[in-house]
Amino acid sequence: MSPRKPNMESSIYLGSDGWWHGRVTMGVKNDGSPDRRHRRAKSEPEVNRKVKELERLRDQGRAPKAGRKPTVEEWLTTYLTTIASLKLKPRSLDDYWSKTRNDIIPGVGQHRLDKLQPEHLERMYADMLEEGHAPSHVLKVHRILSRALKIAHRRRIISENVATLVEPPSVDETEANPFTMAEARAFLLAAAKRPTSLRWIVGVGMGFRQGECLGLRWAYVDLEAELFHPRWQLQRLTWRHGCADPHTCGTRLHRFEPCPEKCTVHKHYTRGCPPPCAKDCTRHASICPERKGGGLVFTRPKTKKSREPVPIPPPFIPHLRAQREAQQEAREAAGELWEEHDAVFARPDGRPLDPRADWEEFKVLLEEAGISDRRLYDGSRHTAGTILNELGVDMPTIMEILRHTQISQTRRYVKGRSELSKEAMRRMGDAFLPPPRATSETRTETGQTRAERAKRRRRIR
């Protein structure tokens, strides 16, 4: 009878099936029972290698937990529901869910988490680029996956985060296209014809983000101290089902082709509903009678720096007072139809301006002002930073006005103008090289050269 092996010592043997087997004691499971893992190989050296690798992970405290590993879809659902939701802002969480449903789950969702390989991700990214997705979109998908796998690795559900072994597509930084001073004046002149003109004055003149402008409320506007307190922002969030059976709730809006028998690709659909197949579609929450968490919502800015007070330019104060008086008249005219949200920029019934309508108005104003198409961010935030720079405001002050946390971020927002560069280089040249000395052939202000003037003096004598 062979002596019993000491605790935590592994055993290796040749089985009757012709395979070499290894048994590694890892400790105990959550229920208190022994946790022994099994490895097998065709040869003894190979099973030895596998056993030693598992022992190494055990001794380093990095061994994956026992039990069936979740699929990528199951883990992403857990991660977004119970982990990321505690930290991410609602808008960011919506974006994570959208990319998970539309890209990650159809691409690699059915893989078991511990079986996911770098080539699976690389193939998914290549397919996304081929389908027309921008590299920046693919990069965001990669980051979501990497963060979710990082948590799984930290909790020892997997032994390695394979996303760290993949090179995502490189993304060129989007070139900022702010207004020139003349374009900013033309834009505000076009906006002056509209009831929302002050919204655009604040956006262009102070560099407020769209959500910050539309989320301004009178309680956070101090006209005496001439300060804005941007404590809130207005965002449109995605609705979530509040019912018990989301799939049945949205049945009438499902649009897809039926998935063929034994299909493992889940790309056989036309529009409206993502894979896998009809039975799992839980979208269309906007029609749910018990919908929740969506629509126009006041949310907190992402960083503490974003909530710092901003001085109001003194010329803006009379316009703000007039805005408040006009809103009071609108409140009285609306009567019972008025909805009080305390919004500085509101519709005739008191509701905040819709971000979608605000974006559409921006595009119309560009056309009316004869300005080429550009992003809303360029016409407000980038424009304010660039014009402040042209006015001679130093970079740290611009950083404070735009409420950035790092000056490198501010430098990306400020786009230099060729006129400023030419003037700067002229001053540089004057500093190093004296102006050219006048020669005998150099004409004076009267148009005569020095030689001609000397000749004239001799004739006079």
Q: Is the pTM higher than 0.75?
A: no
Distance CA 423, CA 437 (A): 22
Q: How far apart are the first and last CA of the chain?
A: 138
Least confident of 75-79, 215-219, 406-410, 453-457: 453-457
User: Does the structure show a pLDDT above 80 at 251?
Assistant: no
Write out the H or E segment, with its range, that includes residue 246. Answer: helix 246-249
59: pLDDT confidence band, cut at 50, 70 and 90? confident
Distance CA 413, CA 176 (A): 7
Residues in the chain: 461
Alpha helices in 105-175 (DSSP H): 105-108, 118-130, 135-154
Q: Are 75 and 148 in contact (CB under 8 A)?
A: yes
**With the CA atoms of 122, 128, 130 and 136 taken in that order, what torsion angle do they form, in degrees rounded to the nearest 10?**
-100
84: pLDDT confidence band, cut at 50, 70 and 90? very high
Average pLDDT over residues 217-225: 94
Dihedral sign (CA 301, 302, 307, 310):
negative
Q: Provide CB contacts within 8 A for 80, sequence distance 6+.
A: 93, 96, 97, 100, 148
List, for residues 319-372, the tens digit of each pLDDT value. 999 999 999 999 999 999 999 999 999 999 999 999 999 999 999 999 999 999
Indicate the burial class of 390 (C-beta count within 10 angstroms; 0-12, 13-18, 19 or more): middle
pLDDT at 284: 82
User: Does the structure show a pLDDT above 60 at 432?
Assistant: yes
Q: Are 387 and 402 in contact (CB under 8 A)?
A: no
